Amino acid sequence: MKNLGLKAIGAAMMQALGLHYVLRYINRDKAAVLLYHSVARDDVEPLPPWAIRQSEFRWQMSYLARHHRVLPLPYYVELLLKRQPIPPHSVVITFDDGFRDNYTVAYPILKEFGLPATIFLVTGYLDTEQALWPDVLFQAIYRTNVQWLDLRHLGDGTHWLRSLTERQRAFTRLIEYMKTLPVDQKNRWLSEIARRLNVDLSALSDADAPYAMLRKHEIQQMAQEGLITFGVHTESHEILTRFPFERAKQEIQISKQKLEALLGQPARFFAYPNGTEADFNEALKRELRAQGFTCAFASVGGFVSPQYDRFALQRVGIGPESSRAYFKMKLAGAMQPWYQLRRLLRRTWQT
């Protein structure tokens, strides 16, 4: 929370100095591909770090409708690949995972403002009561009455859960570490954490819960009404580089086939789970091309660079922003130097 406060202060200072208008002008010909996940009702507590509240999402969409040109993703990709000019101040709206609140909460707001969007679906969770594993971990930590979590027998340590701050800290540390584990080991960790926290994972099954996933008929309705397009986000939402390559190929192929069968049209767009530079590689890019995808999106990196890789297109992540000024500055491109420095440092470290 302290970091969010510093971001808000910094954004307010930059906006007061007029840098928002300067950056908007400098970056006017670069489209920001925005990345959302969940749009939760205002009464949802606690709010997962990948969710944004309904009232804030409405304000953001109102701001985009007034100050930006919102392009359908297929049209934007067509302009990009043909090297045609992007209309000034353009943005593209995308959602990852396929949370049901994309339909129940976000979709009515998008329709109200006439804004197109693309949802990348985890096809193995459609029409199920299952939650994605990060949501299971989040719910387990925040629902438990246990005051501490001892994972020393797994090579970790002790996580105190006596306050909201301690639960936030424990969740952040655990999810980042568990992302690095092989899939089977990560699943064992999840089961062990739930056992030690006395949380029944089978109880995390509610079609109206914040972590519920889309229903197939809801996807078909949105597709038929024409405002929403859909892409592939794998079958299981596991990080593809954590699988043997043949298993990763199956993840892509199965999810593509399911989406095409559901909508009766080719699946052209892909988004990598987690989506950092460590979560995909050249072999996966070649496989996506071989399976007929037009392009693929990462989860970080800011605006798409002039020297773009069509199978590693960058996006601007949007979460529970620290302030509206920070949202405006992010759209204007204030984070671009940080994204570029981070990529440079990562590549320098790897070499």
Q: What count of other Cβ atoms lies within 10 Å of the Cβ of residue 132?
A: 22
Contact present, 79 and 106 (Cβ < 8 Å):
no
Q: What's the burial of 5, exposed, middle or buried (CB within 10 Å: 0-12/13-18/19+)? A: exposed
CA dihedral of residues 236, 240, 242, 246 (deg, nearest 10): 100
Q: How many CA atoms lie within 13 A of 105 on its CB side?
A: 29
pLDDT of amino acid 3: 57
pLDDT of residue 349: 59
Cβ-in-10-Å burial (0-12, 13-18, 19+) of 123 comes to: buried
110-166 pLDDT, tens digit each? 999 999 999 999 999 999 888 899 999 999 999 899 999 999 888 888 999 999 999
Q: Are strands 158-160 and 148-150 parallel, antiparallel or unpaired?
A: antiparallel
Looking only at Cα atoms, what is the longest distance across the chain? 57
Q: What percent of the chain has pLDDT over 70?
A: 91
SS3 120: strand
Measured distance CA(217)–CA(74) in Å, rounded: 22
State the alpha helices, DSSP H only, in the chain: 2-16, 19-26, 54-67, 73-81, 101, 107-113, 133-143, 164-178, 183-196, 216-225, 245-263, 282-290, 324-332, 336-350
pLDDT at 283: 97
Structure tokens at 191: 């089961």
Q: What CA–CA distance (Å, rounded) separates 156 from 96?
A: 30
Distance between CA 86 and CA 29 in Å, rounded? 6
Residue with token string 């992010």: 330
Which residue positions in the chain have pLDDT lower than 50? Answer: 1-2
CA–CA separation, 230 and 118 (whole Å):
5
The first and second tokens of residue 271, run together, are: 């988004």
| Amino acid at position 310, single letter | R
Q: What is the pLDDT of residue 307?
A: 82
Predicted pLDDT of residue 66:
96
Q: Cα–Cα distance between 288 and 270 in angstroms, integer?
A: 8
Helical H segments across 17-53, by residue range: 19-26
Q: What are phi and psi of 338, to 5 degrees?
A: -65, -45
Q: Global pTM?
A: 0.92
Which alpha helices (H) appear in 118-158, and where do they start and end? Answer: 133-143
Q: Cis link prior to 46 (omega < 30° from 0)?
A: yes
As given in the structure block, the two tokens for residue 269 are 């767009």
* pLDDT at position 1: 45
**pLDDT of res. 231:** 98
DSSP output for 325-348: HHHHHHHHTTTHHHHHHHHHHHHH
